[in-house]
Amino acid sequence: MADISVVGAGLAGSEAAWQLAQRGLKVRLYEMKPEKMTPAHTSPLFAELVCSNSLRGDDLSNAVGLLKEELRRLGSLIMMSAEKHRVPAGGALAVDREAFARTITDAIRSHPNIEIAEGEITAFPDGECIVATGPLTSDGLIPAISQACGQADFLHFFDAAAPLIAAESIDMTHAWFGSRYGKGTADYINCPMDREQYVSFVRELAAAREAPVHGFEDSGVFEGCMPVEVMARRGEDTLRYGPLKPVGLRHPETGESYYAVAQLRRDNDEGTVYNLVGFQTHLTFPEQRRVFGMIPALAEAEYLRYGKMHRNTFLNGPALLDRYYRLRSQPRIAFAGQMTGVEGYVESCASGMLAALEAARRLKGLPPLDFPRTTAIGALALYVSGGAVSGDFQPMNVNFGIIEPAAERIRSKRERNLTVARRGLEALDKIIEREATGR
């Protein structure tokens, strides 16, 4: 008999199941794939990356870099697989998404303390459970969540995925390999445009035909995954200050600078698939071929996956959840992942980690760890459970603004952030020591 159930084998659910099992608990992991797929998923593997293959910056002066280091120290399965299957991406941690997901799937399926229950469920399992069904929770389970939360309608926003392009179809006579400011190795394919090409591109992009998405409005888009066509409608130069920013990108042979530059990032270890960076979209597939083909290097591009948009659902965390991601009204039920209102792959993993560690403590009769706001993992949970007025709550990436600031005044932003990061890791190490000794 299982000690605890985890529903959903995405990033958060996979991390939660692994951490619980590693602590000797019997886990039943429910996953509806491949029997039933969501509009965004294409693979039967656990921990499938949908929107991008990047886990973002790795430097400790960046809040997500701090969060990743905390997860590494806590023994994260997600981070272990990411490090094993990382692909060149300058200062970012990007992965070969299929190899990444396969490693996690194999680890979980082979763990002696994890039982996989395949198929969709429509009610919460008995006993303690962590619900990590993600922002595309199936229609069958939504009524049970709604009833448990006491609200008929969940908050939601619209999320979009960028296209994947076959490397051999990119016209390298109109592109070059290189990183912004020469940071890292030449990890990106840069596709330049002159002013005339860019202005024509933006004009066509803003007017291009979109695929229907029920209830979609520009105001309902999460800023971190803003479709390029929405950005184009905000003004001619918006894209030049966003995904087509040319600053720091010069041709390595001629030294030439350009009016706008689109970038592609390697999406697999072999370098045969590239992600069109920042080009989340919900244009129709023919319009994606037509408009993105106006970028000279992509005139004959072969699309291995077109961009897609889908509705993401999340809970009103401050009104419903405590600092352990548990429902205040039914503490046996915890949530993890994007449904809680954390945004991003690493943040989803972190919520699964924290929910699992605290659940394991409860089941063993130990006091909670209570990750403090000096840590990134703790600050994220405290933000979700009460860091915003409930009516204004929106999904949040980890950032130094939600972490307790440094006590001393430090003028340099980088040094200030590094001071906060070092302090957070010291606090985390004490928590790790405390857990290791069973206190």
Structural domains of the chain in order of their starting residue, each with its CATH number: 4-154+315-436 (3.50.50.60), 161-311 (2.40.30)
419 contact partners, CB below 8 Å, separation of at least 6:
406, 408, 410
How much is the pLDDT for 219?
46
- Is the CB of residue 424 less than 8 Å from the CB of residue 70? yes
Q: What is the pLDDT of residue 388?
A: 43
- The pLDDT of residue 376 is 96
Q: Is the pLDDT of residue 24 over 90?
A: yes
pLDDT band of residue 305 (cuts 50, 70, 90) is: confident
> What pLDDT digit, counting tens, does each position of 232-266 carry?
999 999 999 999 999 988 888 888 899 999 999 98
pTM above 0.85, yes or no: no
Share of the chain above pLDDT 90, in %: 55
In this predicted structure, the answer to whether residue 156 has a pLDDT above a threshold of 80 is no
Taking a C-beta distance cutoff of 8 angstroms, is the pair 400, 350 a contact? no
| Lookup: tokens for 407 | 């006590």
pLDDT higher at 223 or 347: 347
Say which residue, 182 or 147, is predicted with more confidence: 147
pLDDT tens column, 338-387: 889 888 899 999 999 999 999 999 999 999 999 999 999 999 999 899 85
Q: Which residue has the higher pLDDT, 76 or 403?
A: 76
User: Would strands 27-31 and 114-118 be described as parallel, antiparallel, or unpaired?
Assistant: parallel
CA dist., res. 170 & res. 175, Å (int): 8
The angle, 0 to 180 degrees and rounded to 10, between the axes of the packed helices 345-363 and 77-84 is 140
- pLDDT for 348: 95
Going by pLDDT thresholds of 50, 70 and 90, the confidence category of residue 208 is very high
Average of per-residue pLDDT across 427-438: 92
**The pLDDT of residue 222 is above 60:** no
pLDDT value for 158: 67
